[in-house]
Amino acid sequence: MKKIEAIIKPFKMDDVREALADIGITGMTVSEVKGFGRQKGHTELYRGAEYMVDFLPKVKIEIVVQTDDVDRCIDAIIETAQTGKIGDGKIFVTDIARVIRIRTGEENEDAI
């Protein structure tokens, strides 16, 4: 099993969710996060004063899938989240040692 964490632009969330649903992903965790990479923030004008916005709003999607489904998930995320501009985000894939469904006690693949 693998955990896929994708950091994407907020306005792409609905498209990514639909693309993942189309390939059979039935569950995910989504968080509103802030951060920066190469974008390094930007300046904004508010009531005539310019100020620096260091952390940019992003959305973090977390999905745990069977190892066989990882490439399909990554492809779906890239195809729908990519704008070709700086700040499109990142995808991280890590190994999952154990999953337990709290309600039933099911473990690993049965708990996904």
Per-residue pLDDT of the chain (112 residues), as tens digits, is 999 999 999 999 999 999 999 999 989 999 999 887 776 666 666 677 776 667 788 999 999 999 999 999 999 999 999 999 888 999 999 999 999 999 999 998 888 8
CATH number of the domain that 45 lies in? 3.30.70.120
Cβ neighbourhood burial of 8 (10 Å; 0-12, 13-18, 19+): buried
The pLDDT value given to residue 33: 95
Q: State the number of CA atoms in the 13 A half-sphere of 71 facing the CB.
A: 1
Contact yes or no for 33/10 (Cβ under 8 A): no
The range of the structural domain enclosing residue 102 comes to: 2-111
- Are the CB atoms for 16 and 81 separated by under 8 Å? yes
Report the largest interatomic distance among the alpha carbons of the chain, rounded to a whole angstrom: 58
Coil, helix or strand at residue 83:
coil
Q: How many domains does the chain have?
A: 1
